[in-house]
Structure 1
Amino acid sequence: MPSDRAVRISHSVLFGLTLLVSIIALIISATLVAHYNNEGYPPVHTGAYTARIRILLVASVWTVFFGIILTVGFQLLGTHLAFGILSHLIPTTIGFILYLIGSASLTGLTAKIDCGKSGDGFSRCGVVKGLVVVSWIDTIILLITLIFLITLAFIARGRYGVHKSTLYAD
C-alpha cells in the first residue's frame, strides 16, 4: 500500500495539473462563447460549433469547481469520508466523459479545416484549434487521474475490505 505521503503528493500533482489545464480550457471556451454570441458563430456548421464549444465550457466549469473542492478538501480533511474515493471518482468520471465528448466532437468538426485558408469566414479558428488541444490534454490528465483513483480503490478494498473508503492508507 502506498504511504500517506505518496498519496498526498500524487493527489496534489494530479489534481493540480487537472485544475491548471481546466482553468486554461475555461478561459478559452468562455472567451469563444462570448465572442461567438456577440459576433455570430462560423457560417459553416453554426449549430455544431455552438453545442461543441459549450460542452467544453460546461466540462471546464465542472472540472474547475470540483477540482478546487477536492484539492483543498483533501489537503485539509483527507481522512474524512466526504473526501474519500467515491467522492473523487464520481466528479472525475463525469468530467472525463464531458471532456471526451467535447474534445472528440470538436476535433471531428475542425480536423479538416486549415485556419490559414479559411479566410474571414471563420473568425478565431486558431483559438478553436487551441481549445481542441487543451481539451485533449485535460482529457488525458483526467484519464490518468481516474486510473490513479481506481488503483487506490482496488488497493484499499483488497487490504481493508469494503469499509475503507478514504484515500489514505491508515
Structure 2
Amino acid sequence: MANERAVRLTHSILFTLITLASIVALAISASLVANYNNYGYPPVNTNAYRDRIRICLAASIWTTFIGLVLTVGFQVMGTKVAFGILTHLIPLIIAFILFIIGAGSLTALTNGTDCGSAEGGFDRCNIVKGLVAISWIDTIFVLLALIFVSVLAIKARGGFGARKSTLYDA
C-alpha cells in the first residue's frame, strides 16, 4: 500500500502543474485563434496553422478541465473509486495524445521558420513558437502524471485491480 501522504502530495503537485501549464496554453492558443480569425492566418500553410493551433486549443481545454476536476475531486473524495486509478488514466491518455499531436505537428510546421526575418516570419510568429514551447511543457507534465498513475495501477494489481482501486489502494 502506498503512503497516503506521498500520494496526496505528488498528485497535488503534478496536477497543479498540469492545470497551470494548460491554462497558459489555453490563453495563448485562444488568443491566436481569435487574432487569426479576425485578421487572417499566415500566408504560407494557412490551413495547416489553423488546424494545428486549434488542436493545441482543444488539448489545452481538455487538460484544463480534467486537471481541475481531478485535482479538486481527488482532494475532496480521494478515497472513492469515482476518483480512482482508471478515472485518472483514461483522461490523461486522451490529454497526452492530444498534446503530442498538437505540439508535434506545430513543431514540424514552425521548425524552419525564422521569426526575425522579413521573408520567413509572420504576424504573431513568436507567440506561435511560445505555444509550441508551453505545449511541450504540458506534454511532459502529463507524461509524468501518466507514469505516476501507471505505477500505482501496477501496484494495485495485487489488490482490487486498477478498475476498483483508488490511488491510495496501490
Shorter-chain TM range is over 0.9
CA shift, 1:131, in A, is 0.3
Deviations 1:6-27 (A, max 9, x none): 0000000000000000000000
Q: How does 1:87-126 map to 2 (within 5 A)?
A: 87-118=87-118, 122-126=122-126
Segments of structure 1 that go 5 or more residues without pairing to the other structure are: none
Provide the rounded CA distance (Å) in 2 between the counterparts of 1:118 and 1:21.
31
For 1:118 and 1:165, how far apart are their aligned partners in 2? 57
Structure 1 residue 122 displacement after superposition? 1.0
4+ residue runs over 4 A deviation: none
Uncovered stretches (5+) of structure 2, i.e. residues with no partner: none
How far did residue 161 of structure 1 move? 4.0
Q: Count how many residue pairs are aligned between Structure 1 and Structure 2.
A: 169
Residue matched to 2:58: 58
Q: In the TM superposition, what is the alpha-carbon distance from 1:164 to its structure 2 partner? A: 4.4
Partner of 1:129: 129
Per the alignment, residue 140 of structure 2 pairs with 140
Q: TM-score, normalised by structure 2?
A: 0.95
Q: How far apart, CA to CA, are the structure 2 residues paired with 1:16 and 1:169?
A: 22
Which deviates further from its counterpart, 117-126 or 66-75? 117-126
Q: TM-score, normalized by length of structure 1?
A: 0.95
Provide the identity percentage. 61
Please give the alpha-carbon distance, in whole angstroms, between the structure 2 residues aligned to 1:4 and 1:169: 9
Q: Determine whether 1:166 maps to 2:166.
A: yes
Aligned to 1:29: 29
User: Helix, strand or coil: the match of 1:122?
Assistant: coil
Cα pair 1:3 1:169 within 8 Å, conserved? no
Structure showing the higher helix proportion among its residues: 1
Distance in 1 separating the partners of 2:80 and 2:93 = 21
User: Residues of 2 paired with 1:7 and 1:104: CA distance?
Assistant: 31
Indicate the RMSD between aligned Cα atoms, in angstroms: 1.5
